[in-house]
């Protein structure tokens, strides 16, 4: 593999102790960052790319995405915008479409969404199952998802499968038994939707404990629809992340602050369900590690765009542009417990995004504008050859 010098960087956001470096350069070698610093002290490399004063940031880390599904729910979105309330039950229409889809249809849908993620600068992303809700359909969702990412998450406990509507305990037994056995070989994480209309605290504890016994690491959908036990369950389980965190009390905030559990905020969901946003300011001021992710799914947040979520985080959740960028890069890396992504420092993965802007503030300042000029993932260019070539 040849080494590449990226030079002419107006502002390099390292998301490390080195902070922002002005008039910077960076060398990639063998998929890793080999050097960062001021352009006038840069070493030579096999090839060189001049980005003409643009800003360079780490690739975004989308730590929460539901990409294994078929169909869409545009009509439901339209109805909701006309006044129909959102509930967790809407998931079931996607379950029907996913079960009916062939492997090739599921694979093509994930490939299409993966392409969107890469084009919008997300170089690492998680994929959850959760729209199969049978042993066969959950396992095949994860088997296909594994072709696209190392961060696959078993979410059999998304909602109670329709066949078990009168027997939720029976469904939990399936999820923690036969379904888990079939899914664990294809998953790294176990997740549960602990909320109104889904699973209660005791059920969620049972699901996570079974997952841990099967070698998976926990993460939790917590406190999206109402104040509930989700955050406490996540912290008790040592979860990498409690996701949504929209309805928190002081105990929840304190528990997050005293733990290694990241609070992952998903403002695309509040946008798409016209709901109140989480209070990011309260979490940050309490010292909680905060991530932002897309929650890409066909029901409540059908976006793959981290720049859109950053704009929402700044405008609607009172994060500064710098805090939002950190949450979308380093925060996501913490939420996936992977320490060589979400930052640009020697040894980290060569995942970088060139913005068509002099400063990452523009991500929120210019909402809805595609500012992604070029993207490298593990040292390989996956978008853009420079503005003159597009």
The kind and range of the H/E element at 264 are: strand 262-265
Cα–Cα distance for residue pair 333/79, rounded to 1 Å? 36
Q: In angstroms, give the least distance from the CB of 30 to Zn ion.
A: 35
Could you write out the three-class secondary structure of 65-124?
ECCCCCCCCHHHHHHHHCCCCCCHHHHHHHHHHHHHCCHHHHHHHHHHHHHHHHHCCEEE
Toward Zn ion, which CB reaches closer, 270 or 351? 270
Query: Binding marks (x or -) toward Zn ion, 263..302, rule CB under 5 A?
Result: --------------------------------x-------
Q: In angstroms, give the least distance from the CB of 269 to Zn ion.
A: 7
- Enter the tokens of residue 85: 């309330």
Query: Binding marks (x or -) toward Zn ion, 125..164, rule CB under 5 A?
Result: ----------------------------------------
- Enter the tokens of residue 304: 């793959």
Toward Zn ion, which CB reaches closer, 242 or 353? 242
Distance of CA 174 to CAs 155, 164, 220, Å? 13, 10, 19
Cα–Cα distance for residue pair 326/168, rounded to 1 Å? 39
Closest CA to 289 of 57, 14, 15: 15
Toward Zn ion, which CB reaches closer, 252 or 295? 295
Q: How many chain residues interact with Zn ion (CB under 5 A)? A: 1
- Tell me which residue has its CB nearest to Zn ion: 295
Cα–Cα distance for residue pair 114/112, rounded to 1 Å? 5
Q: In angstroms, give the least distance from the CB of 44 to Zn ion.
A: 46
Toward Zn ion, which CB reaches closer, 138 or 295? 295
Toward Zn ion, which CB reaches closer, 295 or 351? 295
Q: In angstroms, give the least distance from the CB of 274 to Zn ion.
A: 17
Q: In angstroms, give the least distance from the CB of 297 to Zn ion.
A: 6
Report whether 99 contacts 139 (CB < 8 A).
Answer: no
Toward Zn ion, which CB reaches closer, 38 or 274? 274
Toward Zn ion, which CB reaches closer, 244 or 343? 244
DSSP-derived pairing of the beta strands 122-125 and 352-355: unpaired
3-state secondary structure of 231: helix
Toward Zn ion, which CB reaches closer, 295 or 356? 295
Q: In angstroms, give the least distance from the CB of 208 to Zn ion.
A: 16
Q: In angstroms, give the least distance from the CB of 221 to Zn ion.
A: 5
Q: In angstroms, give the least distance from the CB of 301 to Zn ion.
A: 8
Q: How many CB atoms lie within 10 A of CB 100?
A: 11
Q: In angstroms, give the least distance from the CB of 223 to Zn ion.
A: 12
Toward Zn ion, which CB reaches closer, 195 or 323? 195
Place of tokens 């629809």: 225
Query: Any residues with CB less than 8 A from the CB of 188 and at least 6 apart, and which?
Result: 150, 151, 152, 153, 216, 217
Upper half-sphere CA count for residue 320 (Cβ side, 13 Å): 5
Residues that bind Zn ion (CB under 5 A): 295
């Amino acid at each position: 593999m040849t080494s590449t010098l990226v030079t002419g960087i107006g502002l390099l956001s390292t998301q490390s102790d080195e902070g922002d470096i002005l008039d910077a350069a960076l060398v990639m070698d063998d998929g890793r960052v080999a050097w960062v610093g001021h352009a006038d002290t840069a070493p030579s490399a096999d090839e060189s790319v001049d980005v003409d004063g643009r800003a360079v940031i780490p690739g975004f880390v989308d730590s929460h995405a539901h990409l294994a599904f078929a169909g869409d729910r545009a009509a439901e979105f339209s109805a909701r915008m006309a006044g129909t309330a959102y509930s967790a039950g809407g998931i079931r229409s996607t379950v029907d479409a996913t079960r009916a889809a062939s492997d090739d249809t599921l694979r093509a849908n994930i490939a299409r969404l993966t392409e969107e993620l890469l084009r919008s600068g997300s170089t690492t992303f998680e994929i959850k199952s959760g729209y199969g809700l049978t042993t066969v359909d959950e396992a095949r969702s994860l088997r296909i998802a594994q072709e696209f990412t190392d961060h696959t998450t078993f979410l059999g406990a998304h909602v109670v499968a329709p066949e078990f509507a009168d027997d939720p305990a029976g469904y939990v037994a399936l999820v923690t038994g036969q379904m888990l056995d079939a899914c664990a070989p294809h998953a790294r994480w176990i997740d549960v939707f602990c909320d109104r209309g889904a699973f209660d605290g005791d059920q969620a504890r049972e699901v996570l404990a079974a997952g841990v016994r099967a070698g998976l690491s926990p993460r939790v959908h917590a406190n999206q629809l109402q104040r509930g036990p989700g955050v406490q369950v996540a912290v008790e389980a040592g979860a990498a992340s409690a996701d949504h965190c929209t309805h928190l009390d002081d105990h929840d905030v304190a528990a997050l602050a005293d733990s290694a559990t990241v609070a992952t905020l998903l403002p695309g969901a509040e946008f798409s369900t016209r709901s109140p946003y989480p209070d990011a300011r309260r979490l940050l001021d309490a010292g909680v590690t905060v991530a932002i992710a897309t929650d890409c799914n066909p029901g409540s947040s059908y976006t793959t765009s981290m720049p859109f979520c950053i704009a929402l985080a700044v405008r609607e959740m009172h994060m500064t542009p710098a805090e939002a960028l950190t949450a979308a890069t380093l925060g996501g890396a913490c939420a996936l417990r992977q320490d060589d992504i979400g930052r640009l420092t020697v040894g980290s993965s060569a995942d970088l995004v060139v913005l068509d802007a002099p400063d990452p503030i523009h991500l929120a300042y210019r909402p809805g504008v595609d500012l992604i000029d070029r993207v490298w993932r593990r040292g390989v260019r996956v978008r853009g050859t420079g503005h003159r070539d597009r």
